[in-house]
Amino acid sequence: MRWQRHEAAQRDAAVQNRRIVFATLALHGITQVKVSFNGEGDSGQIEDITVTPEDQADILQREIAMKTTSWPDADVTQVSGSLNDAIENVCYDALAQTHGGWENNDGAYGDIIFDVPERTVTLEFNERYTSSEYYEHSWTEEADHGA
């Protein structure tokens, strides 16, 4: 029961953070944010964040209030951080919600696009994997195997 309350609080915080991020971006004339991520071997991270228009990139350092939760509490609390941090949090929340463990084994990479006028976050996700195909061939001592 505690876990479900905590998960619900995390989802609530994620929704609030998306609203905060979109409102801040729109206020400063940002139309798009592109976040690139990459991970493998049990390690994954945000690689790059770019904004459109590019000359507004300093907005990423602006301090804003964002929402968070901590285990085992089910309370949503407010913390301060940069817009960059808030965008990263939204992205990590989206990855955890849709592809938990994305950074493990062969990992994954992709982009997360914030379309500010449409207020949408789109995850473009590429999962890496190692493939293996098994073949077995047997011949009798008299069989011609085409050699």
Segment 6-24, tens digit of pLDDT: 888 899 999 999 999 999 9
| Residue 138 belongs to a domain | no
Angstrom CA distances, 100 to 6, 11, 133, 140, 144, stand at 17, 15, 26, 49, 51
Q: What are phi and psi of 136, to 5 degrees?
A: -135, 135
Q: How far is it, in rounded angstroms, from Cα 110 to Cα 47?
A: 10
pLDDT confidence tier of residue 100, bands split at 50, 70 and 90: very high
| Residue 136 belongs to a domain | no
pLDDT confidence tier of residue 146, bands split at 50, 70 and 90: low
pLDDT of residue 74: 81
Q: How far is it, in rounded angstroms, from Cα 113 to Cα 134?
A: 39
The count of structural domains within the chain is 1
pLDDT (average), residues 124-132: 95
Residues 130, 106, 3, 20: what is their CA dihedral angle, to the nearest 10 degrees?
-130
For the chain, give me the number of helices (H) and strands (E)?
A: 2, 6
Chain-wide mean pLDDT for the chain? 93
Give the count of alpha carbons within 13 A of 55, CB side only.
1
| Residue 139 belongs to a domain | no
Q: Which domain holds residue 34?
A: 2-127
pLDDT (average), residues 117-142: 94
| Residue 100 belongs to a domain | yes
